[in-house]
Each structure stands twice: as structure tokens, then as C-alpha cells.
Amino acid sequence: MAERTLVPPNETTSDERSMAVLATALQMVGGWIAPLIIFLVKRESRFVSFFALQALLLQIAHLILMMLFVGLWFGLIVSQIVLAASHHFAPSPIIFLVFPFIWLGWMGLWVGTLIIVILYSIKAGHGEWADYPIFGKIARRILKIGPDGEPLAT
């Protein structure tokens, strides 16, 4: 009969660290789907579900901000087309002045997400209970866990 080693409640196993790294890193290729799948599959592990939920919340915010940038861009284009058609003149050069700022916002969002993914993948690999900016506290509240992963008394 194989002997099982018990892991103290606040320490993480190698499998948990690997799954937390995957939940964090795969969001760059899988968007919100990869963290969601890992969150649902590894629900019994507080460590994995904590990192997967943070990644999921980050991807939801990322998606909303990207949709706002795209909506701004399309709104600008449509307004210029409508104005040009109704007044019979060429579109305003404002569209060409605003586009670089929209593009910079879009790329800045992507680079910021990439930096968060790299930093927190490393922390998850080391077994740290690291909070994403803003989303860490939200994930802790949703999962009802404390700073070291212990369940909060309700």
C-alpha cells in the first residue's frame, strides 16, 4: 500500500503550482476560456482556484476595455462618415489624429496584461499567494479565503 504525504493546509503541491501557472499564463493565448476551464476543473484547490479566478477577472476587464476602445474607434469612423455624407465634404483629419491614441491605449492594455501574466505566473510557480492589482481582493472575497489561503470564518 502506497503511503500518502499530507501537505499542510497553507502549502501548495507541485501540481497546484503548475495548474496555477497554467491558469495565469494561458490567458494570453486562451483569453478567458483557459482560466475558466481550470477554475471549474480544479475547484477543490483553493490555490489554483484563486489564481484562475484572478486571471478570469483580469480577462473580463481586459475584454470590456478592448470593446470600449473598438466602440470608440467605430463610433469615430461612423460619425465622420455621417458628417461627411450629410455636409458633402471630406472626413475630418481628427480621425487620423485620434487613431494613434486609441492604438496606444490598446497596445498599452495588452502590454500591461502581459506584464501581469509574467509576474504572477512566476509568483504562482513559487507557491506565493500573490494578489493581482484590484482583482486579488475581489477573488479573495468571492472565494472567502484569507491572505495565506486559509478559509475565512463566516
> What is d(CA 79, CA 88) in angstroms, rounded to the nearest whole number?
14
* pLDDT at 3 exceeding the cut of 60: no
Predicted model pTM: 0.82
Q: Which residue has the higher pLDDT, 71 or 154?
A: 71
Show the cell assigned to 36.
475558466
Which residues neighbour 87 within 8 Å (Cβ) at sequence distance 6 or greater? none
The domain locations on the chain are 14-143
**In this model, does residue 52 exceed pLDDT 90?**
yes
Sign of CA dihedral 89, 92, 96, 102: negative
**Residues ≥6 apart with Cβ < 8 Å to 34:** 22, 23, 26, 27, 55
Residue, of 48 and 73, whose pLDDT is higher: 48
For 5-51, how does the pLDDT look when each residue is reduced to its tens digit (9 = 90+)? 444 556 889 999 999 999 999 999 988 999 999 999 999 999 999 99
Predicted pLDDT at 9: 52
Q: What is the mean pLDDT of residues 57-72?
A: 93
